[in-house]
């Protein structure tokens, strides 16, 4: 027994498992396990970050005005209702810290992102997992799962690791059906991969109980910089800003994100490349007897016959230096989540799965 007792809930947190980046004994690996953009950040973002490094003796902007203005201009949003975080993970943590505590419930879906549960527990709240319907967010199940203790309802749209999404009308029905005092959080980590999608911004303008989180880690290719943002009613953003550290986002991250969000041409290019190779890879795998739901994001959830086959295929891919993600921890033991890489990576995955299915050796 130690004399130091962590706060309730903390010891229930299982450490977040990031995507692997190495395979023992394999030198040339392709990482397809963390939904990173294979094309990297915009060259303009790289340039802006390099220039920002010279001023690292200065603290970063604490009001983050320049980035909030750039996001506002690009997405047609009110900069006063934007908050920036060290990744959208930090915005998720702020939401839990501010709105949920002991005795409160935080809802998320069966195959929902791991950080919802972790942040709920860190805040001392009770995480509640709600069933999906065939790997799709089930609005009726979420509404039925609400109680007077429900304070936050997280959905990712598109969802990770399923890649599926629900319509704006369904999201509106969820928002409108929530009990008073429950806030809907729309996690738009993959929103930029969907053509003409505002991630719920219009729903936010028309309601007081919806916020969204966004990230620079996915299509913008800035996962290493740790930067994301949130948008919602002024009253809620003002609350979140009270717990935000004044210098929570670094100078380099702010500079890179500002250049990245303004480089809409590069984003469109990445979206198109992803859509092209996502469709190609899904078709190839389907022909090999490995189906997947139509993905709206930058990965596909490949479904195998059972857990043993999924794990055997993962091992086979690893031997060829292809690192994908096992998702048993997301209640999907017989599936593998494969990030859409560049053309050579997608071709290598398809060829490896074909060889695996035909019983060839990996080497
Ligand atoms: C990748 C991802 C995020 C992004 O997290 P960051 O902290 O911004 O890197 C958030 N939500 C989901 C569902 C994700 O898959």
Q: For a substitution probing ligand 1, which of 115, 185, 225 has the most ligand atoms within 8 Å of its CB?
A: 115
pLDDT of residue 18: 81
**255 pLDDT more than 90:** yes
332 to 90, 156, 273, 284, 285: CA distances (angstroms):
26, 17, 27, 21, 18
Q: What is the pTM of this model?
A: 0.96
For residue 98, the SS3 value is helix
CA angle 239, 219, 138 (to 5 degrees): 65
Alpha carbons 54 and 72: distance in angstroms, whole number: 27
- Burial label for 358, CB within 10 Å (0-12, 13-18, 19+), is exposed
Nearest to 22 by CA among 336, 316, 345, 321: 321
C-alpha R_g of the chain:
21
Q: How far is the CA of 87 from the centre of ligand 1 (A)?
A: 7
pLDDT of residue 17: 81
Q: Cα 69 to the chain's mean position, in Å? A: 23
Residue 193 Cβ inside 6 Å of ligand 1? The answer reads no
The mean predicted confidence, pLDDT, of the chain is 96
Q: How far is the CA of 102 from the centre of ligand 1 (A)?
A: 25
Alpha helices, DSSP H, located in the chain: 43-53, 65-75, 88-99, 114-122, 139-145, 168-177, 201-205, 234-243, 251-262, 264-287, 307-319, 343-357
Q: What value does the mean pLDDT take over residues 77-82? A: 98
Name which residue leads in pLDDT, 19 or 83: 83
Q: How far is the CA of 213 from the centre of ligand 1 (A)?
A: 9
pLDDT of residue 23: 85
Alpha carbons 256 and 249: distance in angstroms, whole number: 11
pLDDT of residue 21: 84
Q: What value does the mean pLDDT take over residues 223-242? A: 98
Nearest to 224 by CA among 22, 59, 40, 23: 40
DSSP character at residue 59: P
pLDDT of residue 172: 98
Give φ, ψ of 289 to 5 degrees: 85, 25
Q: pLDDT by residue (tens digit) across 301-344?
A: 999 999 999 999 999 999 999 999 999 999 999 999 999 999 99
Cis preceding-peptide flag for 158 (omega within 30 of 0): yes
Q: Which residue has the tokens 């005795």?
A: 103
Alpha carbons 283 and 168: distance in angstroms, whole number: 27
User: Topology of domain 10-31+265-357, per CATH?
Assistant: 3.90.1150
- Nearest ligand 1 atom to alpha carbon 216: 8
Q: How far is the CA of 223 from the centre of ligand 1 (A)?
A: 9
Strands of the sheet containing 299-303, edge to edge, are 299-303, 335-339, 325-326
- Percent share of the chain, pLDDT over 90: 93
Q: What value does the mean pLDDT take over residues 7-19? A: 88
- Percent share of the chain, pLDDT over 70: 100
pLDDT of residue 93: 98
Q: For a substitution probing ligand 1, which of 41, 187, 214 has the most ligand atoms within 8 Å of its CB?
A: 187
pLDDT of residue 50: 98
**1 pLDDT more than 70:** no
Q: Whose CA is nearest to atom 2 of ligand 1?
A: 189
Give φ, ψ of 151 to 5 degrees: -110, -30
Q: pLDDT by residue (tens digit) across 128-153?
A: 999 999 999 999 999 999 999 999 99
Numbered ranges of CATH 3.40.640.10 in the chain? 43-264
Q: What value does the mean pLDDT take over residues 155-160? A: 98
Work out the pLDDT band at 11, boundaries 50, 70, 90: very high
Numbered ranges of CATH 3.90.1150.10 in the chain? 10-31+265-357
Highest CATH level, class, for 43-264: alpha beta
The first and second tokens of residue 140, run together, are 């009726």
- Nearest ligand 1 atom to alpha carbon 156: 13
Helix axes 307-319, 343-357, angle to 10 degrees: 120
pLDDT of residue 15: 86
Plot region of 199 (φ>0 → left; ψ -120 to 50 → alpha; else → beta): left
Residue 36 Cβ inside 6 Å of ligand 1? The answer reads no
Q: pLDDT by residue (tens digit) across 18-77?
A: 888 888 888 889 999 999 999 999 999 999 999 999 999 999 999 999 999 999 999 999
Contacts of 169 (CB under 8 A, 6+ apart): none
Q: Cα 162 to the chain's mean position, in Å? A: 11
Residue 187 Cβ inside 6 Å of ligand 1? The answer reads yes
């Amino acid at each position: 027994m130690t004399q130091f007792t962590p706060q309730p809930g903390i010891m229930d947190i299982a450490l977040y498992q990031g995507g692997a980046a190495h395979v023992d004994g394999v030198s040339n690996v392709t990482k397809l396990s963390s939904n990173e953009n294979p094309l990297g950040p915009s060259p303009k973002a790289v340039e802006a970050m390099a220039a920002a490094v010279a001023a690292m003796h200065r603290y970063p902007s604490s009001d983050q005005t320049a980035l909030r203005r750039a996001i506002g201009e690009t997405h047609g949003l009110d900069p006063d209702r934007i908050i920036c975080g060290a990744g959208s993970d930090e915005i998720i943590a702020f939401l839990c810290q501010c709105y949920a505590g002991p005795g409160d419930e935080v809802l998320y879906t069966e195959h929902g992102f791991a950080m919802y549960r972790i942040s709920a527990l860190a805040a001392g709240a009770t995480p509640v997992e709600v069933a999906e319907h065939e790997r799709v967010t089930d609005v009726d199940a979420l509404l039925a799962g609400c109680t007077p203790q429900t304070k936050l309802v997280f959905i990712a749209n598109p969802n990770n690791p399923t890649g599926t999404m629900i319509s704006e009308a369904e999201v509106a029905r969820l928002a409108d059906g929530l009990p008073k005092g429950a806030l809907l959080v729309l996690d738009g980590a993959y929103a930029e991969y969907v053509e003409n999608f505002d991630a719920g911004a219009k729903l936010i303008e028309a309601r007081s109980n919806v916020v969204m989180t966004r990230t620079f880690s996915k299509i913008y290719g800035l996962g290493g910089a740790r930067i994301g943002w949130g948008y919602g009613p002024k009253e809620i953003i003002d609350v979140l800003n009270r717990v935000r550290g004044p210098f929570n986002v670094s100078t380099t991250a702010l500079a890179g994100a500002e250049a990245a969000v303004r480089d809409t041409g590069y984003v469109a290019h990445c979206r198109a490349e992803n859509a092209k190779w996502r469709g190609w890879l899904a078709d190839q795998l389907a022909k090999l007897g490995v189906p997947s739901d139509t993905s709206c994001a930058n990965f596909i959830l490949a479904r195998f016959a059972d857990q043993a086959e999924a794990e055997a295929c993962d091992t086979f891919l690893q031997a060829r230096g292809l690192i994908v993600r096992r998702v048993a921890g997301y209640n999907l033991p017989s599936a593998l989540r494969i990030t859409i890489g560049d053309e050579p990576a997608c071709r290598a995955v398809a060829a490896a799965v074909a060889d695996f299915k035909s019983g060839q050796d990996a080497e």
